[in-house]
Each structure stands twice: as structure tokens, then as C-alpha cells.
Amino acid sequence: MIDLHTHSVFSDGELIPSEIIRRMAELENEGLAITDHADFSNISWIMQNLRRFMDFRDDYELDVLFGVEVTHVPPKLIGRAVELAWKEGAEIVIVHGETIAEPVKEGTNFAAVQEEIDILAHPGLIDVKTAELAKENGVYLEISARKGHCLTNGHVAKIAQEIGCKLVINTDAHSPSDFIDTQTAIKILRGAGIVDIEEVLNNSKRIIKKKLRH
């Protein structure tokens, strides 16, 4: 699998980027994105650190993208945070969606899918109107392997398949125990009621290949 939502020591993850990559490779995964939690206080700092890694990534085992997860930013400010992330060199931008496991402000999902983002992470009890806008704007919805966030995977899958939204599966990994391999990802997708599992896995491949070509 390709995991486009992981966290390093540059936010609240336990591992430096090199160890994340090594552990992912050991699981025979194909690629990943490091997307640390970010708001206006640390977007520039995160990307300053991650940009240092970009010159060396070709010598690592896996394809890697570097970016941020805009997290708990007030809905009306999400656009400005996303704009800052791109300006600071992010290669992928996701937004921390309205998971039922955390007190995310209502309206975050709808505000996020109106912006130039790649993925709306763990969007919880996403509604039809927001899903339709995500489809229109090419925003992927996330099926999550993470404890708590995964509780609404079935709802997200149902809405996405009804509306025709594109899905990805990610771990939202913060520690080594959070990483999964392809077989586990397939089981999670099956459990969520996903019909075209191969399509979901291929969506992540399309994202990373497109980003690395630019």
C-alpha cells in the first residue's frame, strides 16, 4: 500500500522520517507521505525541516512526499492555512476532518473541501452535500486504520460510493504499532464495505506518482 497520512517527530509522531521510511519498507509498502499536524504556528517550521530531506529521498527505498495535515484550524481560516502550506513547499496537503474521536469544530469538513487540498482525513459523519463538493473539487476522502477514527469508516464508504467520491486508505500513524501492510489495508477496506478495493489502493498510487512528476 501507499500511506499518505503519517506523523513524525516534527509534530506528535514518535519517529524521525528515516525510521518511518525503513519500517514502511520492511512491511513491503510502496510509498508514503509525512504529513505532520500543522497550524499557523508551525507550518513554516515543519516544511523547513522536511525540505531538508527532499534532496536525499532518491537514495531511500520508497517514494516519499512531504507535507502537512492542517489540524483544528477554525473553518474560516482553513483556506489561509492551506495557502501557507503550499507557499512553504508542501507537496501534499490534507485537512484533519471531523472525526468523532476528537472535538473538531463543526463546519471543518465543508470548509476543507472548498480548498486546494488533496485529502480530507477521517471525515467522520460526513454529509452528502460535503461529499458532493469533495467530488466536484477532486478531494479524496480517507478510510482510516487508526483507532477511534476508523469507527465511521462504514459511513464514509457508504456516502463516498453513493456520491462517487474517490477514496484512499491511510493509517494516520503516530507510532510503529500504527503501520499496516497491504493485506491489512485490504481487510479494513472490506470491513468498511468497499466494493472496488483495487481502485482505492490505486488512488494513492496515482496521487504519489502525479506529485513526484512535478
> Is the per-residue pLDDT at 214 higher than 80?
no
Q: How far apart are CA 99 and CA 90, in angstroms?
A: 23
Q: Are 50 and 34 in contact (CB under 8 A)?
A: yes
Q: Are 147 and 122 in contact (CB under 8 A)?
A: no
Write the DSSP symbol of residue 202.
H
Secondary structure (H, E, C), 52-117: HHHCCHHHCCCEEEEEEEECCCCHHHHHHHHHHHHHCCCCEEEEECCCCCCCCCCCHHHHHCCCCC
DSSP 3-state assignment of 8? coil
163-193 confidence digits (pLDDT tens): 999 999 999 999 999 999 999 999 999 999 9
- What's the CATH number where 138 sits? 3.20.20.140
Domains: count for the chain? 1
Edge-to-edge, what's the strand order for the sheet holding 92-96? 2-6, 31-38, 63-70, 92-96, 119-121, 140-144, 167-170
21-70 confidence digits (pLDDT tens): 999 999 999 999 999 999 999 999 999 999 999 999 999 999 999 999 99
Domain limits for position 187? 2-213
96-111 confidence digits (pLDDT tens): 999 999 999 999 999 9
Q: What is the pLDDT of residue 213?
A: 87
Question: What are the helix (H) ranges across 116-152?
Answer: 128-137
Q: What is the pLDDT of residue 80?
A: 98
Compute φ and ψ for 147, nearest 5 degrees. Answer: -55, 135
Q: What is the pLDDT of residue 192?
A: 98
Q: What is the largest CA-CA distance in the chain?
A: 43
Q: Are 69 and 122 in contact (CB under 8 A)?
A: no
What global pTM score does this model have? 0.98
